[in-house]
Amino acid sequence: MTLMKLTLNQLTTLDLPPTQAQQLIDQVNPFIKSAATAEEAWHLITKHNVIQHYSFNIQLFFFNLCFPNWQDHPETAAAWLPEKEYLSQTHLFQFMTELDISDVKQFHTWTTKSYEKFWAYMLTKLNIVFKKNPEKICDLTEGIESPLWLKGASLNIVDSCFTAPSDAIALIYPDRESFSTLSYDELNALSNRIANSLIKQGIKSGEKIAIAMPMNQYAIAIYLGIIKMGGIVVSIADSFSSQEMETRMAITHTKIIFTQDVMFWCGKKHPLYEKVKNTSATQVIVLSCEQSLQVPLRETDLAWQDFLVDETNYQSLPCTPMQACNILFSSGTTSEPKAIVWNHTTAIKAASDAFLHQDINPYDRLAWPTNLGWMMGPWLIFAALINQACIVLYPEAPKDRHFGEFIQETKVTMLGVVPTLVASWRQTHCMEKLDWRCIKLFSSTGECSNAEDMLYLMSLAGYKPIIEYCGGTEIGGAYLTSTLIQKNYPSLFSTPAMGIDISILDERGLETNEGEVAIIPPSMGLSTQLLNADHHQIYYANMPKTKEGFILRRHGDQIKKLKNGYFCILGRVDDTMNLGGIKISAAEIERALVGISDIKECAAIAISPSGNGPSQLVIYAATDTKLEKNEIRKIMQQRINTHLNPLFKIHDVVFVAELPKTASNKIMRRLLRKQYGRSTWQ
């Protein structure tokens, strides 16, 4: 590879003065000339910090120079390469070395074919605390849909959250102009006080207690305290309306709920207790967001200081491994949300993923803006604490520079994101020129990511890898993810998660490289119970078997396996559309539209016009600026023509301030279809 004079001309068109442009070329040229491959050239350029001080447009120019066809062939452009000295320090590499396995694919096969040995190993590596050891790792007497994990064992998974040194930092959270900490000992004592307080209130083992509050230090202590005393947490997002809260409380028959008086989000104060007290809750335990309660309480409700007893000693209640400890909900965009039951083994799946894929170590600091109403809230608790790491909490909106400065100040080592958040950062440039050198990796989940946005995210920390992480509440973690011992391609997944196997099916139910993903059980973490639906009907009914005869479990994502063995997510099956006789996912169209000036994000939907006829493509575009529709539609159509197919004609563009989303930040395209039909066809 060599840089020609054309490079200088192109750099000057990127607002770089000729002298500075030539200086940059002179710095980069030796690395490009010495590299045997484009991947090696990019690796050398980023390793030696040659371009990181320039704008992302200039960094993107060099990436495009190394990988000219990467937009259409993302599997050709590795943005991060693992170095040998780094490899040997990872948990995954060490595990593989113990088994004398050098190939990740071969190792994954071992984790699924020899799953009992794999999970036995993970129990040891994660220091899972048992009150009585298991007689058998997995008992399939009741069939593969109803595995009995850790048969004969007795445990309380919260005990495994407190194996770190007592003085190690468990939580970091904002405190006025700086931050405060809770040690493992202090968090343990607070969760014990909460368990004792619940018992004093007459709460018994097996009862359901809801939490609807921001993800702060108290929410985590409450979560752990409930499970310690044998209770079942009902996870409810604080963003929900009273009606949505009531729906979830009615499904679970919950009468007691923890909340706050008010909460702050995007600089505004929002009433929280007012929403909660309009549900059927017979008792609300209310924490104050500030120095004192901001609202008067009902007679039946309790202020936090009146609820909390001083007793800090408590021995966790022994539980069976498959005993429920948390109820979470699917998005529920069109019908009653599924109530998914987590048991004491689900947490082991979360912690195992974090150990092997995010490579979490003691004293790592994990920040992932989330909420207990979304599975990533409980996931974060178990992933961090079981691995003896520290959770960095930021309960407000992570949308501005203050969040980035907080990440810098608290020296976060793993930052979790949703792709929409990254797109917002890129639009506003709010996270640029911060010192994020402590970050060793990012992780992304919740929705399909855009490769260019993910490259931008990597650039914010000097090109650190991103562990793409795709799974679901009913999995307790991921079925598809990445590792730190493989090349990192923006937006691509390198492997199925260790301990869980998948199959890709076409419309006839035959295995293929592009289609609907199905899970091959058993795997620890897979749900076995729904409170308000037939579990078999939802996940197993009418599913084909693999050619080897293995039963398959429905999941609903569409994925594609690429030539290099990596995977990309195409979106949900129910977000697929047929345009011009060709099937395409909404996510693929949305990827092609990323980066248009003044547009924060897009959602693609297909509309059937009145009187039937071919589906028509409608793009919802979130913007704060008054834009000219025809001009934007032309830009969008050109991108679709270039990156996808000219047959995908845009019928309409609708500008909105924000796209409707679930509590887990997923775009509710069904709601957009309903809204568009109501406003246009009637």
Whether the predicted pLDDT of 174 surpasses 70: yes
Residue 631 DSSP SS3? helix
Query: How large is the average pLDDT for residues 204-232?
Result: 97
Query: Which of the pair, 508 or 276, is modelled with greater confidence?
Result: 276
Mean per-residue pLDDT for 492-502?
98
The rounded percent of the chain whose pLDDT value lies above 70 is 95
**Confidence class of residue 610 from pLDDT cuts 50, 70 and 90?**
low
Rounded (5°) CA angle 532-536-539? 95
Dist CA 407 CA 388 (whole Å): 20
d(CA 516, CA 539): 13
pLDDT at 486: 97
The residue whose two tokens read 């595995």 is 147
pLDDT at 483: 98
Phi and psi angles of residue 287, each rounded to the nearest 5 degrees, phi first: -95, 155
User: Stretch 307-323: mean pLDDT, rounded?
Assistant: 98
Residue 602 near residue 461, CB atoms below 8 Å: no
**At 332, is the pLDDT very low, low, confident or very high (cuts 50, 70, 90)?**
very low
Coil, strand or helix at 410: coil
Q: What is the pLDDT of residues 618-654, one digit of tens each?
A: 999 999 999 999 999 999 999 998 888 787 889 999 9
| Number of other residues whose CB lies within 10 A of the CB of residue 625 | 9
| 442 compared with 178, residue with greater pLDDT | 442
* pLDDT above 80 (res 1): no
User: Within a 13 Å sphere around the CA of 223, how many CA atoms are in the beta-carbon half?
Assistant: 30
- Does residue 85 surpass a pLDDT of 90? no
The predicted pLDDT at position 257 comes to: 97
pLDDT value at 515 more than 50: yes
Residue 682 in this model has a pLDDT that exceeds 50: no
pLDDT-based confidence at residue 32 (cuts at 50, 70, 90): confident
Strand partners, 493: 567
List pLDDT tens digits, range 443-464: 999 888 889 999 999 999 999 9
Query: What pLDDT is stored for residue 615 in this prediction?
Result: 78
Tokens 């904002």 belong to residue: 174
Helix axes 115-125, 104-113, angle to 10 degrees: 100
- At CA 230, angle to CA 229 and CA 231, rounded to 5? 95
Question: What's the whole-number mean pLDDT along residues 559-564?
Answer: 94
Cα separation, 392 vs 463, whole angstroms: 22
| Residue range 481-507: mean pLDDT, rounded | 96
What mean pLDDT comes out for the span 542-549?
87
Range from 105-114, 333-342, 392-401, 417-426 carrying the lowest mean pLDDT: 333-342
Confidence of residue 668 (pLDDT cuts 50, 70, 90): confident
**8 Å CB contact between 405 and 185:** no
Distance CA 605, CA 50 (A): 42
Confirm if 117 and 138 have CB atoms less than 8 A apart: no
Asked if 499 and 523 count as a contact pair (C-beta separation under 8 A), the reply is yes
Q: What is the mean pLDDT of the chain?
A: 92
| Structure tokens given for 171 | 């939580």
CB 160 within 8 A of CB 347: yes
**pLDDT over 50 (residue 353):** yes
- Distance, in Å, from the CA atom of 502 to the CA atom of 555, rounded to the nearest integer, reads 10
Contact between residue 258 and residue 285 where contact means Cβ atoms under 8 Å apart: yes
Indicate if the pLDDT at residue 369 is higher than 80. Answer: yes
The residues, ordered by sequence, that sit 6+ positions from 342 with a Cβ below 8 Å of its Cβ are: 324, 325, 326, 327, 328, 378, 476, 527
Geometric angle at alpha carbon 608, from 603 and 612, rounded to 5°: 175
Question: How many Å apart are CA 366 and CA 392, to the nearest integer?
Answer: 6
Helix, strand, coil shares, percent, the chain, to 5: 35, 25, 45
pLDDT category at 506 given cuts 50, 70, 90 is confident
Q: Which of 510, 574, 513 lies closest to 543, judged by CA?
A: 510
Residue type at 384?
Answer: A
**pLDDT tops 80 at residue 333:** no
pLDDT of residue 265: 84
pLDDT average, residue stretch 378-402 = 96
Q: Is the pLDDT score of 681 beyond 50?
A: no
Residue % of the chain over a pLDDT of 90: 73
* Residue that the structure tokens 């004969």 belong to: 152
